[in-house]
Structure 1
Amino acid sequence: MLRNAVRSDVAGIGALMRSSVLDMFPRFHDELETAAAARYLTEPDTVLIDDGTYFVHEADGDLVACGGWSKRDKLYTGSGALPTDDRLLDPVTEPARVRAMFVHGDWTRRGLGRAILTRCVDAARDDGFRALVLMATLPGVPLYLAFGFREVKRTRIPMPNGVVLAGVSMEYPLAG
């Protein structure tokens, strides 16, 4: 069941995020990078939940996938705290952000990420946005490409402890 996340999901979302990173990242990243991602990319952003733009997929009472989109300036968890993070984006001139997509390792390749992305596309389009952007870590790139996101550029994602992850800046047009 795909539904909007609520505040009582926060602990479960955090556990799902960490589990997903520890399972998926070693296929693409070394031990130090995986540990940094598990520490810094797995803090649930309650602003997304409060905005009603974050979703969870629940199966038999367990959270097995999560992700959402944002109408705010923050691009990804782990990017540090910037003064503009909570600024509302202008849907006419700025793209919405896809944020914090994670799937439990036992639930990959079942369409859960695609279902969350479809929900994000529909909701952002309904709010007047013309495009989505995201900062992908390597485990997510195949899903985003298959969904129709376009690679903008390869980049490096610095973690607060100095470890740097490979990343891909991507975009998806909503107009037309």
Structure 2
Amino acid sequence: MLREAVRADVPGIAALMRQSVREVFPLFHDERETAAAARYLTEPDTVLIDDGTYFVHEADGQIVACGGWSRRDKLYTGSGAAPSDDRMLDPATEPARVRAMFVRGDWTRRGLGRAILARCEQAARAEGFQALVLMATLPGEQLYRSFGFRELSRTRVPLPNGVVLDGVSMEYPLSH
């Protein structure tokens, strides 16, 4: 069941994020990178929940996938705090952000990420956004490509402890 996340979901979302990183990142990253990602990329952003733009997929009472979008300036968790993070984006001139997509390892390749992306696309389009952007980690790149996102650039994402992850800046036009 795909539904909007609520504050009471935060502990379950955090647990899912950490589990997903521990299970999926080792296929793309070494042990040090996986540990850093588990520490710095798995903090639920309650602003997304409060904004009503974050979703969870439940199965048998457990959260097995999560993700959402934002009408705010912050691109991804782990990017550090910036003064403009909470600034509302202008739908006419700026793309909405896809944020914090995680799927439990034993639930990958079942369409859950795609369903969350479709919900994000529909909601952002309804608010007048012309495009979605995201910073993909390597485990998510295939999902985003198959959904229709295109690569803008390859980048290196520094985490607070000095570990650097490969990332892919991607965009999805909402005008088609």
- TM-score normalised by length of structure 1: 1.00
Q: Aligned equivalents of 1:106 and 1:96: distance in 2?
A: 29
CA displacement at 1:42 relative to structure 2: 0.1
| 1:70 alignment partner in structure 2 | 70
SS at match of 1:24: helix
CA displacement at 1:168 relative to structure 2: 0.2
| 2:92 alignment partner in structure 1 | 92
Paired amino acid for 2:64: V
CA displacement at 1:131 relative to structure 2: 0.1
| 2:29 alignment partner in structure 1 | 29
| 1:165 alignment partner in structure 2 | 165
Q: Aligned equivalents of 1:81 and 1:166: distance in 2?
A: 20
Residue 109, structure 1, aligned to residue 127, structure 2: no
Deviations 1:97-124 (A, max 9, x none): 0000000001000000000000000000
Q: Aligned equivalents of 2:90 and 2:76: distance in 1?
A: 18
Paired amino acid for 1:81: A
Q: Give 5+ residue unaligned stretches, structure 2.
A: none
Aligned length: 176
Q: Aligned equivalents of 1:137 and 1:109: distance in 2?
A: 16
Q: Aligned equivalents of 1:32 and 1:134: distance in 2?
A: 24
Sequence identity percentage: 80
| 1:50 alignment partner in structure 2 | 50
| 2:4 alignment partner in structure 1 | 4
| 1:16 alignment partner in structure 2 | 16
| 1:80 alignment partner in structure 2 | 80
| 1:174 alignment partner in structure 2 | 174
Q: Aligned equivalents of 2:157 and 2:92: distance in 1?
A: 27
SS at match of 1:117: helix
- TM-score normalised by length of structure 2: 1.00
> Root-mean-square deviation (CA), in Å?
0.4
| 1:131 alignment partner in structure 2 | 131
Deviations 1:96-155 (A, max 9, x none): 000000000010000000000000000000010000000000000000000000000000
Q: Aligned equivalents of 1:152 and 1:16: distance in 2?
A: 29
